[in-house]
Structure 1
Amino acid sequence: MQQRAWRRRARPGRAREPRSQPPGGRGELSRTPSPPPPVPFLSLGRIALALRSPAARAPWAPCPRRRPAGSGPAVPSPSMEPGEPREARESGPGAETAAVPRWEEAKAFHDNLTPKKKPKSPKPQNAVTIAVSSRALFRMEEEQRIYTEQGVEEYVRYQLEHENEPFSPGPAFPFVKALEAVNRRLRELYPDSEDVFDIVLVTNNHAQVGVRLINSINHYDLFIERFCMTGGNSPICYLKAYHTNLYLSADSEKVREAIDEGIAAATIFSPSKDVVVSQSQLRVAFDGDAVLFSDESERIVKAHGLDRFFEHEKAHENKPLAQGPLKGFLEALGRLQKKFYSKGLRLECPIRTYLVTARSAASSGARALKTLRSWGLETDEALFLAGAPKGPLLEKIRPHIFFDDQMFHVTGAQEMGTVAAHVPYGVAQTPRRPAPTKQAPATQ
């Protein structure tokens, strides 16, 4: 019986050997020892090798069922319609192709869950630094009223109580968002370059108010890593240390201080109505005289009238004008524009500049254009209005910011929905008022 049981367990085609009997057992012949039982066909080693093979199925693929031999073709599931393609269940090219979309979806889902890595802040000496005050970037009228009426202690207490409430966007907010849009394009083309815009928040607010400012910046997903909070003192002395190319503030006295220090600066004003501006292209409009150029020509107009001015410009057509306070900022914009031009993106450049001047093209326009050429600069568009109002034209341009030295043009731009900035430079300015003795933390 034991030998029969062994024969039934033996593998087919393998020679049977006589089983040995222990001493004193049944029979007298000595027999060789029998081999151990064969390893089952589906051993753990074979399964491991199968899983390591290149054609192994994806981890989420269902395990295929083996049909008995001779059972005929597979019968479709009752829930499947005739002719409906059956989902691949076995490993092979079909399973790998089906796994690709699932993997891409899973990766996209994971990337959305993972916090995005912020770019590294550039070194100030390599970047185009734009310094903005807290009141230029955000609307803080209520907070300023509390400071004026109730004092600094109540002002700080109010800010601490509301530090989790973000400020509303201010007049410089669309301009800052456009700067960041340009930075994204630059980093796509030049991943290792530090020649980008660097935005610095410069304010004479108390340091404790900085928590609310940080929360507001994070709320709007702005990339502003450099802060300067001076606790009531003037921040103008720090602008050169930041290598500032442009300073925007709501405080005209601070702007005058910056101009006196040789820093490009302007007092920014909110428009009278909201106008949609471009989200992908930074648009900056400049006046000419006393903004890009010196006030030489305006002095002649004030002293001798327009006729003498036209004669003077014609006689000095080939003599470049002296530079104005914002010439350096236009130069910085041109440097970044050339980085796009070198990639063949002149027509798709995300920076566009405009010269919007009251000069007449025929009588005095040539000197303005030749001056820019002598500096190695240019604007994408030059608009000579011959004394006409600038507001309607700016309404069509929709710049993120417009710089002018005369409040008459600034007010006209505001009325048409343009964010305008006053450059307090040149003969057209009113005499300076005496500086106030009390400095408010939020007066920028």
Structure 2
Amino acid sequence: MVRSQFDFESLLTSCCKASSFLIAVYWLEHHGKGKGRDAPLSFLVAIMSAIEVKDVLNAKDENGEDTDWAAAKVAFENLKSTKKPRPPKPQHAVTIAVSSRTLFNMVKERKIYEEEGLERYVTYQEQHEDEPLMPGVAFPFVKALMTVNARLRELYPDSEELFDIVLMTNNHAQVGIRLINSINYYDLTIERFCMTGGESPIGYLKAYMTNLYLSKDSEKVQEAIEEGIAAATMFTANNENPLSDTQLRVAFDGDAVLFSDESEIIVKKHGLDTFFEHEKEFENLPLAQGPLKCFLESLGKLQRKFYTKNERIDCPVRTYLVTARSAASSGARVLKTLRSWGLEVDEALFLAGAPKGPLLEKIRPHIFFDDQMFHITGAQELGTIAAHVPYGIGQKGKLIQQNPKGQ
């Protein structure tokens, strides 16, 4: 590692003489405890890029002290901005747990594991740990979460009500080096990992205070749902539609996703006519909550932080209800249920049984949640990243599996 040969004590003395004590305080706090001349050259470069020390020292005008103070403040702010943001405390955050195979494209590595075994898989990962993995299906979603965090930090610098992304994987610890290198390569803010060495990570989800779990393994997703955790199996779109890099867009189905499957049970057992009569009769009775209601609630909580700052129109989070229900025949109960929960969606699209794919192609969400695989397939075909929620009567006797084991 290259070390600086500059006289840092002299630099500190000069900074203090120039009344730039903020820089000196920062230096002593973060670099001056027992490090002396071994401090990295990058610190000096950061100072020099923000303030020309010589000019400050030679400032002779009557407002010299104010000039020094302003320059020191600029330098300090510059240093702060170059630091990687700290993850929020879990009790305040909206925690999104993603598996390694959703965050990164590990198809090649997975094939090695299945065909050549675990030892060869781990060895391959070690041999290629300096090669970043390609982005996976959840990568755009994670980047959008980070965009929202950046906006929140601008408005609320001290708040910890942010998204916190956790890598939740049954990979072995040695594979973690390549995962860490890939995360750093793409400048992702992911500091919390759970690597379980072949064991299921589902038991750790509650300990990590998870609000949403995304995986490619439907068995693990089913386990998470049964534990009362919002979860979905992610599917890659057949082609890539460009997605917004300034706004997180999340689309939800209604029944068996945001709401319980009680209405779907009536449709399957008694038909549409009985269903319409039932919804009209119980229009003012809220539906029971579904597995992803709490995630919509978390999104709404963050949205309101923007609304408080008069940022509703420019809010970087947008939510959509995309339901096969008919508006006139059965839509009122859905909207009244959301109102009774104190929740709202930005857009509500009632399709009356029409395909969802074309509408989703227009919305271009970073993720679309649905409990029916034919809607997932239709979304995939038109370039939408879709996530299957294995919940409700539609799942009886079914298990949608992309890979038999692992994450």
Is the Cα contact below 8 Å between 1:200 and 1:227 reproduced in 2?
A: yes
Q: 2 CA distance for matches of 1:359 and 1:92?
A: 73
1:317 aligns with 2:275: no
Q: Which residue identity does 1:338 align to in structure 2?
A: R
The Cα of 1:122 is off from its aligned counterpart by 1.2
Matched, 1:345 2:350: no
Instruction: Give the superposition deviation at 1:434.
Output: 12
1:29 alignment counterpart: none
TM-score by length of 2: 0.81
In structure 2, what is the equivalent of residue 372 of structure 1? 338
Which residue of the partner structure matches residue 160 of structure 1? 126
* 8 Å contact kept, 2:218–2:399: no
Take 1:117 and 1:150, find their aligned partners in 2: how far apart are those partners?
A: 42
Superposition pairs of residues 113-124 of structure 1, within 5 angstroms: 116-124=82-90
Q: 1:187 Cα deviation (Å)?
A: 0.8
Deviation at 1:420, TM superposition (A): 0.2
Cα separation, 2, equivalents of 1:391 and 1:432: 23
Return the alpha-carbon distance in structure 2 between the equivalents of residues 428 and 407 of structure 1: 9
* In 1: Cα distance, 2:241 partner to 2:355 partner: 19
Q: Which residue of the partner structure matches residue 391 of structure 1? A: 357
Is there any run of 5+ residues in structure 1 with no aligned partner, and where?
Answer: 1-51, 53-57, 62-90
TM superposition shift of 1:431: 1.3
Render the CA deviation track for 1:336-381: whole Å, top value 9, x for unaligned: 0111111111111110000000000000000000000000000000
Q: How does 1:25-424 map to 2 (within 5 A)?
A: 116-424=82-390
Q: Partner of 1:428: helix, strand, or coil?
A: helix
Given the superposition, is the C-alpha separation of residues 433 and 128 from structure 1 closer, same or farther in structure 2, using an over 3 Å criterion? closer
Q: In structure 2, what residue type is equivalent to 1:408?
A: F
In the aligned structure 2, how far is the partner of 1:189 from the partner of 1:115?
15
Q: After superposition, give the CA deviation of every residue in 1:215-262 in whole Å (9 maximum; x if it has no partner).
A: 000000000000000000000000000110000000000000000100
* Runs of 4 or more consecutive aligned structure 1 residues displaced over 2 Å after TM superposition: 58-61, 432-435
Letter in 1 for 2:105: R
| 8 Å CA contact 1:129, 1:245 repeated in 2 | yes
Distance, in Å, in 2 between the alignment partners of 1:434 and 1:410 is 11
Percent identity between matched residues is: 72
> Which of 408, 419, 429 is the equivalent residue of 2:395?
429
Matched residue pairs, number? 354
In the alignment, the residues of structure 2 paired with residue 373 and residue 439 of structure 1 have an alpha-carbon distance, to the nearest angstrom, of 41
**Conserved in 2, the CA contact under 8 Å of 1:358 and 1:385?**
yes
Give me the whole-angstrom Cα distance separating, in 2, the residues matched to 1:202 and 1:173: 14
Displacement of 1:60 in angstroms is 6.9
Give the Cα separation in 1 of the matches to 2:338 and 2:250.
16
> CA deviation digits over 1:394-436, x for unaligned, max 9?
000010000000000001101111100000000111415699x
> What runs of 5+ residues in structure 2 fail to find an aligned partner?
1-17, 19-52
CA distance in 2 between partners of 1:154 and 1:430 (Å): 38
Q: Distance in 2 between matches of 1:367 and 1:149?
A: 51
Is residue 233–residue 439 contact of structure 1 (8 Å, CA) maintained in 2? no
**Structure number with higher helix proportion:** 2
- How big is the shift at 1:121? 1.7
Q: Aligned equivalents of 2:145 and 2:309: distance in 1?
A: 19
Aligned residue type for 1:419: I
C-alpha distance 355-439 of structure 1, shift in aligned 2 (>3 A): closer
Report the residue type matching 2:350 in the other structure.
Answer: F
Contact 2:217–2:404 (CA<8 Å) still a contact in 1? no
2:352 maps to amino acid: A
Cross-structure match for 1:8 = none
Once superposed, what is the RMSD of the aligned Cα atoms?
Answer: 3.0
Q: Give the drift of 1:439.
A: 8.0
Verify the 8 A CA contact 2:325 2:331 in the aligned structure 1. Answer: yes
Partner SS state of residue 417, structure 1: coil
Q: Name the structure 1 match of 2:10.
A: none
Query: Structure 1 residue 118: deviation in Å?
Result: 1.6
**Match of 2:315, SS?**
coil
SS in 1 for 2:109: helix
Specify the SS of the correspondent of 2:121. Answer: helix
